[in-house]
């Protein structure tokens, strides 16, 4: 199991460098991130975009281009398409968004014929270190799905379970979150949580233990679970927290670094290869940890 | 303005001790909290409950009863009613819940004839220290209202603004939270946020600046607001964050102490006097800070 982010970084550095294809990398933040990732030995890169502009930024950043390959596509959609092709033909292991619009990027990535579409829901997972014990803790979905249906929540869990297994959990423990730990008809997400628990019991969700509803404290704090007398292996010990909606997920992703100075990484799962969707709202540290995570799991 | 919790505690200690009436205090956690509050010079107490049992617990806790008055009411609802009477006849400044059920307690507190009902919505506010600058930051509602309507959100804001003014903000800055900072018809809370902003512009919400929608980062981080180019005095500088629903609020209240080791206090506003609704799920520190806050604002 990956114990913490230091462990993740060490394990990525110790392996042969993976290749990340970036669509439209021609902006200073992206090139600066590429430089830091190369210096930290997290990956090598194929930069698919406006080649002249990209080369100029690489030169200005004093970035040794030994670990970089350039491909010229000035149109954003074509750049994303070409980056996808790099992954399909196994020249790259991971695809990453540069300065183009997320919608344009995902349109190329999720194209059903030429893209990385695996016929599954795409979802995001925020990752941080567990408190007081080894292991990484996942919250999902904190970025992509606004109000997932029950079936979408199942798929969001499955994507996170796939990540959890890659991070070393044999059978990840999934807590379905609400504001309370009891089933309450006035709170539909408590009903979804109960249904998801039973779906895992019946083998409809595989390779995971799912329980819920939980409030946040009794999902991730053993003391809080004990105090509320909630039994079971998930209570207080969740590896994955399924949030009920994007408002909760986005709040978690944003509040932890600001109010708690908590280190955060993120992954986008459900496609044929890991997707790195860096955001300017995220810190450089978060974006670097997202690159490390994608390198590790690819 | 109250700069931080240390400042709050000092200011409470410096004033004449306020009196808190506790309904049904006859359990060990409550008496232990009373002891800590008296030792910290945060308040004096009227303990309304099973007197023999309460006196025994007070003796066992080696608690000097100089700052305690006992009133015997073994029935929980009657104990709550008597605690309410203490506040109405001004023998007490604050009412606090002991070991009785929250529903029983609130039924007595909010009784329209004999209670502390002010004809307003009752709402909870989670309070913590701002990061990198002085002042207390409020999140509301994190405990009581599950899915507030637009009108209820207005009242939740008004209750928090009342608290904010007592904490020294002349005209509190209120950020209406969603997962995004743009109005999106697929996310009804962004529409509520826009409506609430305009209600404040038109004087329908008084003594506050309200803006929204915001994502958490651009509500409370000046750097994030600047990076997203969101103008206005609230952006990045909110004193009060209105959360869209209880799932978000409860998550904030629970995750900050666990993941970020952030100190948290809480208040319940909307009645004729401050209500302290301590929870066993909260730490002793949180419950003590809630007592300090209620003492300060009463």
Indicate the average pLDDT of chain A.
Answer: 96
Two tokens at A49? 């975009």
Q: Does residue B213 have a cis peptide bond before it, meaning omega lies within 30 degrees of 0? A: yes
Of B19, B20, B25, the residue nearest B98 (C-alpha): B25
- Kindly report the nearest CA distance between residue B249 and chain A, in angstroms: 8
Whether the predicted pLDDT of A219 surpasses 90: yes
Q: Do A186 and B259 touch (CB under 8 A)?
A: no
Residues of B in contact with A127 (CB under 8 A): none
- Kindly report the nearest CA distance between residue A136 and chain B, in angstroms: 12
User: In chain B, how long is the greatest CA-to-CA distance?
Assistant: 63
**Residue A29 burial by Cβ neighbours in a 10 Å radius (0-12, 13-18, 19+):** middle
CA atoms within 13 A on the CB side of B56: 8
Picking from B216, B244, B247, the nearest residue to A178 by CB comes out as B247
| Banded pLDDT at B279 (limits 50, 70, 90) | confident
- Kindly report the nearest CA distance between residue B246 and chain A, in angstroms: 6
Angular region, B119: left φ>0, alpha ψ -120 to 50, beta rest: left
pLDDT tens profile B186-245: 999 999 999 999 999 999 999 999 999 999 999 999 999 999 999 999 999 999 999 999
pLDDT of residue B18: 97
pLDDT of residue A279: 86
CB atoms within 10 A of CB A205: 21
The per-residue b/e assignment along A122-154, b for 16 or more CB within 10 angstroms, e otherwise, is bbbbbbbbbeeeebbbbbbbbbbbeebeeeebb
pLDDT of residue A15: 85
Of B19, B279, B281, B294, the residue nearest A227 (C-alpha): B281
Q: Any CB–CB contact under 8 A between B298 and chain A?
A: no
Window B:244-273, CB contacts with A under 8 Å: 244-252, 254-256, 258-262
Q: Do B251 and A246 touch (CB under 8 A)?
A: no
Q: Do B281 and A228 touch (CB under 8 A)?
A: yes
The per-residue b/e assignment along A233-247, b for 16 or more CB within 10 angstroms, e otherwise, is ebbbbbbbbbbbbbb
| Banded pLDDT at A278 (limits 50, 70, 90) | confident
Q: Do A248 and B247 touch (CB under 8 A)?
A: yes
Q: Any CB–CB contact under 8 A between A144 and chain B?
A: no
Of B174, B165, B192, B195, the residue nearest B237 (C-alpha): B174
Q: Are A124 and A140 in contact (CB under 8 A)?
A: yes
| Banded pLDDT at A206 (limits 50, 70, 90) | very high
Mutation target to probe the B interface, by most B beta carbons within 10 A, among A248, A253, A262 is A248
Picking from B131, B224, B262, the nearest residue to A281 by CB comes out as B224
Rounded CA Rg of chain A: 19
Two tokens at A246? 């994007």
pLDDT of residue A88: 97
Structure-token match 């506010």, residue found: B125
Q: Are A296 and A274 in contact (CB under 8 A)?
A: no
| Banded pLDDT at B255 (limits 50, 70, 90) | very high
H helix count then E strand count, chain A: 11, 11
| Banded pLDDT at B261 (limits 50, 70, 90) | very high
Q: Any CB–CB contact under 8 A between B160 and chain A?
A: no
Residues of B in contact with A224 (CB under 8 A): 254, 258, 281
Structure-token match 């978060």, residue found: A286
Residues of A in contact with B243 (CB under 8 A): 247, 251
Two tokens at A157? 């869990």
Give the end-to-end CA distance of chain B in Å, rounded to a whole number: 16
CA distances in angstroms from B123 to A23, A60, B220, B249, listed in the order given: 48, 55, 21, 12
Picking from A189, A224, A245, the nearest residue to B281 by CB comes out as A224
Window B:123-142, CB contacts with A under 8 Å: 128, 131
- Kindly report the nearest CA distance between residue B85 and chain A, in angstroms: 32
Picking from B178, B247, B280, the nearest residue to A244 by CB comes out as B247
**Mean pLDDT over residues A50-77, rounded?**
96
What chain A residue is nearest to B221 in terms of C-alpha separation? A258
Q: Do B215 and A250 touch (CB under 8 A)?
A: yes
Two tokens at A133? 């014990």
Residues of A in contact with B252 (CB under 8 A): 251, 255
Q: Are A128 and A256 in contact (CB under 8 A)?
A: yes
- CA dist., res. A252 & res. B248, Å (int): 9
pLDDT tens profile A181-196: 999 999 999 999 999 9
Residues of B in contact with A256 (CB under 8 A): 255, 259-260
- Kindly report the nearest CA distance between residue A246 and chain B, in angstroms: 6
Crossing angle of the two packed helices A284-297 and A28-39, in degrees rounded to 10: 60
Q: Does residue B231 have a cis peptide bond before it, meaning omega lies within 30 degrees of 0? A: no
pLDDT of residue A280: 85
**Mean pLDDT over residues A54-77, rounded?**
96
Picking from A146, A187, A248, the nearest residue to B248 by CB comes out as A248
Could you give the percent of chain B with pLDDT greater than 70? 100
Mutation target to probe the A interface, by most A beta carbons within 10 A, among B248, B286, B287 is B248
pLDDT tens profile B88-108: 999 999 999 999 999 999 999
Within chain B, residue ranges assigned H as helices are 5-14, 28-39, 51-60, 76-88, 102-109, 150-166, 188-201, 216-220, 222-227, 246-260, 284-297
Whether the predicted pLDDT of B65 surpasses 90: no
Picking from A251, A262, A280, the nearest residue to B248 by CB comes out as A251
Of A140, A118, A109, A100, the residue nearest A265 (C-alpha): A140
| Banded pLDDT at B146 (limits 50, 70, 90) | very high
Picking from B179, B250, B259, the nearest residue to A260 by CB comes out as B259
pLDDT tens profile B153-194: 999 999 999 999 999 999 999 999 999 999 999 999 999 999
- Kindly report the nearest CA distance between residue B145 and chain A, in angstroms: 11
Could you give the percent of chain A with pLDDT greater than 70? 100
| Banded pLDDT at B278 (limits 50, 70, 90) | confident
**Mean pLDDT over residues A156-180, rounded?**
98
Our measurement of the distance from residue B204's CA atom to the centroid of its chain's CA atoms, rounded to an integer in Å, reads: 23
Whether the predicted pLDDT of B148 surpasses 90: yes
What chain B residue is nearest to A130 in terms of C-alpha separation? B259
Could you give the percent of chain A with pLDDT greater than 90? 97
pLDDT of residue A142: 98
pLDDT of residue A65: 87
| Banded pLDDT at A14 (limits 50, 70, 90) | confident
Structure-token match 């207390």, residue found: B136
Mutation target to probe the B interface, by most B beta carbons within 10 A, among A226, A242, A254, A282 is A254
Structure-token match 């025994």, residue found: B56
Q: Any CB–CB contact under 8 A between A187 and chain B?
A: yes
Q: Do A227 and B280 touch (CB under 8 A)?
A: yes
- CA dist., res. B142 & res. A250, Å (int): 16
The SS3 of residue B127 is strand
pLDDT of residue B280: 85
Whether the predicted pLDDT of B63 surpasses 90: yes
Residues of A in contact with B246 (CB under 8 A): 179, 187
- CA dist., res. A145 & res. B186, Å (int): 11
pLDDT of residue A29: 94
């Amino acid at each position: 199991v990956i114990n913490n982010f230091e462990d993740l970084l060490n394990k990525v550095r110790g392996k042969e460098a993976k290749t990340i294809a970036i669509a439209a990398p021609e902006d200073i933040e992206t090139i600066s991130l590429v430089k830091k990732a190369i210096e930290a030995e997290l990956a090598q890169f194929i930069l698919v975009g406006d080649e002249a502009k990209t080369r100029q930024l690489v030169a200005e950043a004093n970035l040794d281009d030994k670990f970089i390959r350039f491909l010229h596509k000035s149109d954003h959609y074509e750049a994303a398409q070409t980056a996808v092709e790099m992954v399909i033909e196994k020249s790259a292991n991971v695809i990453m968004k540069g300065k183009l619009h997320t919608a344009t990027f995902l349109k190329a990535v999720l194209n059903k014929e030429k893209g990385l579409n695996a016929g599954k829901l795409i979802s995001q997972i925020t990752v941080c270190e567990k408190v007081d014990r080894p292991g990484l803790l996942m919250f999902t979905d904190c970025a992509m799905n606004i109000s997932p249906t029950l079936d979408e929540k199942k798929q969001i869990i499955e994507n996170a379970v796939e990540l959890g297994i890659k991070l070393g959990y044999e059978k990840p423990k999934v807590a379905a979150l609400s504001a309370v730990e009891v089933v309450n008809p006035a709170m539909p997400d408590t009903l979804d949580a109960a249904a998801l628990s039973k779906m895992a019991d019946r083998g409809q969700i595989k390779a995971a233990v799912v329980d819920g509803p939980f409030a946040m404290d009794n999902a991730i704090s053993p003391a809080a679970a004990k105090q509320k007398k909630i039994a079971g292996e998930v209570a207080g010990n969740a590896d994955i927290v399924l949030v009920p909606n994007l408002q909760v997920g986005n709040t978690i992703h944003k509040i932890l670094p600001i109010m708690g100075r908590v280190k955060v990484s993120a992954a986008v799962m459900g496609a044929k290869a890991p997707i790195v969707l860096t955001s300017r709202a995220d810190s450089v540290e978060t974006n670097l940890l997202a690159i490390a995570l994608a390198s590790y799991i690819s």
